[in-house]
């Protein structure tokens, strides 16, 4: 399946419902997108709304991967730093691919599109964090990101499940 990547789609109520649905689907399929274990629309929707506010304030931009029917199948949020010493790099957050499309090259295509937009915004690098124990750092490394930091046990997924918080960096040449 081919996806079209669109920066700053209209944040209509229907689109925000799709964003929340995707986030629930990815999380419930085991994706490391901020919620440990099974989650619900009611738990995730406030996070969706928080992104809407951040987009309105200019702190984030949304990159949406849409299928041929216009259904949201992938996302990445591009975050901007406001501190004068960090304005040269941006953050990638809430990177998601619909679970039914994973392992089909869509993650690489999403990252490539995000990197293209980051360059157009004048950013020199991208930073992201990922949850240890899932091999995500290997995927990001295969896309050119370098591990630049790791906090052992920095993420508590459950009472007895601590994972490393891994920081990755990509120079945008």
pLDDT tens, position by position, 130-167 = 999 999 999 999 999 999 999 999 999 999 999 999 99
pLDDT band at 17 (very low <50, low <70, confident <90, very high): very high
54-113 tens-digit pLDDT: 999 999 999 999 999 999 999 999 999 999 999 999 999 999 999 999 889 999 999 999
Residue 36 phi/psi, 5-degree rounding, is -80, 135
The model carries a pTM of: 0.93
Is it the case that residue 1 has pLDDT exceeding 90? no
* Predicted pLDDT at 36: 86
**Residue 149: CB atoms within 10 Å:** 13
Residues 6 or more apart whose Cβ sits within 8 Å of residue 125: 88, 89, 90, 169, 170, 171, 172
DSSP letters, 6-62, are: EES----HHHHHHHHHHHHHHHHTT--SS--S---HHHHHHHHHHHHHHHHTTSEEE
């Amino acid at each position: 399946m081919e996806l079209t990547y669109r920066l700053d789609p209209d944040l209509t109520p229907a689109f925000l419902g799709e964003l929340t649905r995707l986030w629930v689907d990815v999380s419930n399929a085991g994706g490391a997108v901020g919620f440990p274990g099974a989650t619900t629309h009611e738990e995730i929707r406030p996070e969706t709304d928080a992104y809407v506010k951040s987009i309105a304030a200019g702190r984030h931009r949304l990159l949406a991967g849409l299928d041929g029917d216009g259904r949201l199948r992938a996302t990445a949020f591009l975050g901007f730093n406001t501190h004068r010493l960090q304005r040269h790099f941006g953050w990638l957050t809430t990177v998601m691919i619909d679970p039914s499309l994973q392992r089909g090259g869509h993650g690489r295509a999403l990252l490539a599109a995000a990197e293209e937009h980051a360059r157009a915004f004048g950013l020199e690098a991208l930073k992201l964090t990922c949850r240890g124990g899932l091999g995500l750092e290997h995927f990001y490394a295969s896309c050119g990101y370098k591990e630049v930091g790791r906090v052992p046990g920095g993420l508590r997924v459950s009472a007895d499940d601590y994972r490393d918080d891994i920081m990755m960096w990509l120079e945008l040449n």
